[in-house]
Structure 1
Amino acid sequence: MARKTDVLIIGAGQAGLALSRHLTALDIDHVILDRGAVGQRWRAERWASLHLLTPNWMTRLPGWRYQGDDPQGFMHKDQVVGMLGRYARSFDAPVAEFTEVENLRQTPTGYRIRTSNGIYVARSVVIATGACDRPAVPGFAASIAPTIAQVTTRDYVHPRQLEPGGVLVVGGSATGVQLAEEIHLAGRPVTLAVGAHVRLPRRYRGRDILDWFDRCGMLSEARDPAVPTHKALSQPSLQLIGSDPPRDIDLRSLSRLGVRCVGRVDGADGNRVGLGGTLAADVAAGEVRRKRTLERVDSFIRVTADQAEPAPQGDAPFIPQDAALRELDLAALGIRTILWATGFRRSYPWLDIPVLDRTGEIIQCGGITPCAGLYTLGLPFMRRRNSTFIDGAGQDAADIATHILRHLDSSAHAAA
């Protein structure tokens, strides 16, 4: 017999739990399904040394905020798992763990969800599986010689698991630069291939850079609905690291350590990997964005007269020596492993509803899909810049909960 509920949430990470907290406050019957345990991706799909990029004081969810003794520190991923578990228990979140969704389809009265543990029917469904689903490995990776091991950030745990020899890390995001540094410090020769990126100071004018972003409203800034999804998803990656003590990480710091920095990978054939040769242009574009970002903080300080240290003197942009290189010979360089730090794509093989665009993303505006009662949560730039942050999940969830309440009321009136 099918189990009935008003709202079914798919995913028990920060987004799904934040929505559950709001639905609980609204006394709306609901259930959360997760293919694993609460915070499954934090448990099983993150590298061992990962810390959040946001300071601990920014770890906020509806009805809960960090109150520990290290507000300026950066939470380890295992601490995030523990925090999410405690948060779920704090309001008795109705989570069905180890329940994998196999099929979701629309019915005249709502939705039917087939799972590994039976059938559910719901008047509304929220897909809160998040942004980090399947690694976005380029198609040409299949042309790389089989003697070269290929690993994604979903599977990488620590340097010891990698094949002996050099490592090519592809991707200049926070993840890419952190892993390039970690693997190099473990004694492995590392080459880092970098595309569009923005280096940022960890601390600026006496505060953490994300503290300033939070104060000036940059993180909670609403997404312009006129901006196409593909453009919102292609924003340059920020280069940051959460560490004690706080420090910067960028191409300059990595090069000083001995990491070789080259341009973006744009093709491969056997042991040869093609490079775009555009790193100098990517660095220059990143410096423009960095300057614009810091000027916004400076403007906020001037307008509010907020207490701040003097603005530091800007340093010259760093262009790596091999910025114009067009090809790598992996065999000649002794590179035995490629680590793809190239982001993620979403995949919904169980979604039997025509709401996917040609790239496989769910068609939605602010989390509201064309199908009445079907919503998303936790996607990049879904409603705000911080939609994928733990700190951003709460407000997005509040907005979606309000929509759900209206939907449930209207569907009840229609049925009556």
Structure 2
Amino acid sequence: MAHAGAGSTRRTDVVVIGGGQAGLAMSRCLTDAGVDHVVLERGQTANSWRTERWDSLRLLSPNWLTRLPGWGYAGDDPDGFMTAAEVVAHLDAYRASFGAPVEDGTTVERVAPCSDGYVVDTDRGSWRARAVVMATGACSDPHKPAFAADLPGHLQQLAPTEYRNPAQVADGRVLVVGGSASGLQIADELARAGREVTLSTGEHVRLPRTYRGMDIHWWMSTLGILDERYDEVEDLGRARRLPSLQLVGSPERRTLDLNSLGGRGVEVVGRLAGLHAGRAQFSGSLANVCMLADLKQRRLLDRIDEFAQEHGLDAELSDPVRPAATAVDGTRLDADLSGYGAVVWATGFRPRYPWLDPERLAPAVLDGSGRLRHDGGVVDAPGLYVLGLPFLRRRSSSFLDGVGRDAIDLAGHLVGHLERSSAAIG
């Protein structure tokens, strides 16, 4: 990199904020394009994977789908699912493979516009760049409802980023709030450890881990679902808000859904709607929510069967055995929290950009709810980009494979921006 010493404001063409899979993918693309840049990482490479994952966590997608620009899975278990530690090693090796210019232990404090791009202030000095890529992902802050502050004081409260294993969870029954991947996996692990668990769920996306002998991600890739682009869907806002898939990565490739949790003794109730006099209140729409999830799953499996028949695959695949309809009671509408010891808030995350200058930049690029205004990662400010958000440019944007292809697209746009700005100056 061509820039001044650390004691003064250093210069580069592009500052990438975040050294996880998104930031490294962008760095590889910029390196290939010969663009001078730096990656600023508050901790170490893959910091969230190192410090904010529970002990048993594995990727939801199979190893063969961990493709990044210029890098892919090279192990002997392509159909397996990496542990968090294996993801860290995978990304560390990726960083080393092209000498990514990462500055570890650097916290970004402010990004503000200037005459030729942006000033990026950190706790280790400042940078001046013609473009900035925000690659910190979608999981900055675990989301909790406002009424979480009104929970009885004896309850331990944990976010998925804080949960590690059942041993750390306070004694007593556990209320897990959230019926997507994190909530189901944590509820399942607690139940397997002999804990009494109540799972509160609202809208969710139910899928079998495998169907007709193939992983569900293989089917979604083969059918082109993972490649669906952000400018091709009817309701992009809803597509970006969809819950993560009810899946778990495990050596035995088991299906994890509300039925399997119920079989393990987990009590399934509706969405947590509020609190009153020390009692949790649950929505009465559980049966309808589950019926809708079953319907959507059935439509996808129908589509798979039709594809298999049209392409002459029936003889090669196992029989089309369908998962049973979700069996829920749905009559439990409240619970006395005095018998509970802990609540796990698996209620999603909110991206956060505290470094955006509150006067000159944030008002121009954030909407009323604090979300970035962008077109497929191109933010509403020249030279500002975001990478690593759900359905940023394609349905697979949340996976390593998808974020890599998003990075390729955005790097092309970014290089064009640099060329145009150079021509304007010239």
TM-score range, shorter chain: over 0.9
For the residue of structure 2 that corresponds to 1:413, the secondary structure is: helix
Contact 1:280–1:324, Cα closer than 8 Å, also in 2: no
Alignment match, 1:317: 325
Contact 1:38–1:84, Cα closer than 8 Å, also in 2: yes
Distance 2:290 2:256 in 1: 14
Equivalent residue runs for 1:356-395 within 5 Å? 356-395=366-405
Q: Does 1:15 align with 2:25?
A: no
Q: CA deviation at 1:388?
A: 1.5
Equivalent residue runs for 1:26-105 within 5 Å? 26-105=33-112
Q: How many residues align?
A: 413
Distance 1:81 1:270 in 2: 45
Counterpart residue type for residue 251 of structure 1: L
Alignment match, 1:117: 124
Change (3 A) 1:141 1:264: same
Contact 2:291–2:326, Cα closer than 8 Å, also in 1: no
For the residue of structure 1 that corresponds to 2:380, the secondary structure is: coil
Q: Does 1:276 align with 2:283?
A: yes
Distance 1:379 1:324 in 2: 36
For the residue of structure 1 that corresponds to 2:378, the secondary structure is: coil
Contact 2:12–2:130, Cα closer than 8 Å, also in 1: yes
Q: CA deviation at 1:301?
A: 2.0
Q: CA deviation at 1:351?
A: 0.8
CA RMSD of aligned residues (A): 1.4
Distance 1:233 1:170 in 2: 20
State the Cα deviation string for residues 285-308 of structure 1 (Å, max 9, x = none).
Answer: 101110122222223223333464
Unaligned runs of 5+ in 1: none
Q: CA deviation at 1:336?
A: 1.1
Which sits farther off after the overlay, 190-199 or 225-234?
A: 225-234
Distance 2:301 2:112 in 1: 47
Contact 1:278–1:324, Cα closer than 8 Å, also in 2: no
Change (3 A) 1:16 1:227: farther
Counterpart residue type for residue 320 of structure 1: V
Alignment match, 1:134: 141
Change (3 A) 1:226 1:83: closer
Counterpart residue type for residue 245 of structure 1: E
For the residue of structure 1 that corresponds to 2:341, the secondary structure is: strand
Distance 2:275 2:52 in 1: 27
Distance 2:290 2:425 in 1: 58
Counterpart residue type for residue 345 of structure 1: R
Contact 2:230–2:236, Cα closer than 8 Å, also in 1: no
For the residue of structure 2 that corresponds to 1:244, the secondary structure is: coil
Equivalent residue runs for 1:162-311 within 5 Å? 162-224=169-231, 230-306=237-313, 308-311=316-319
Distance 2:193 2:255 in 1: 19
State the Cα deviation string for residues 353-406 of structure 1 (Å, max 9, x = none).
Answer: 121111111110100111010000010111001112111111100110101111
Provide the TM-score with structure 2 as the length reference. 0.94
Distance 1:339 1:15 in 2: 27
For the residue of structure 2 that corresponds to 1:65, the secondary structure is: coil
Alignment match, 2:417: 407
Q: CA deviation at 1:215?
A: 1.4
For the residue of structure 2 that corresponds to 1:64, the secondary structure is: coil
State the Cα deviation string for residues 16-49 of structure 1 (Å, max 9, x = none).
Answer: 1111111111100000001110000011111111
Contact 2:212–2:321, Cα closer than 8 Å, also in 1: no
Change (3 A) 1:315 1:110: closer
Q: CA deviation at 1:65?
A: 1.0
Runs of 4+ in 1 over 6 A off after TM superposition: none
Unaligned runs of 5+ in 2: 1-7
Provide the TM-score with structure 1 as the length reference. 0.96
Counterpart residue type for residue 331 of structure 2: A
Q: CA deviation at 1:229?
A: 5.7
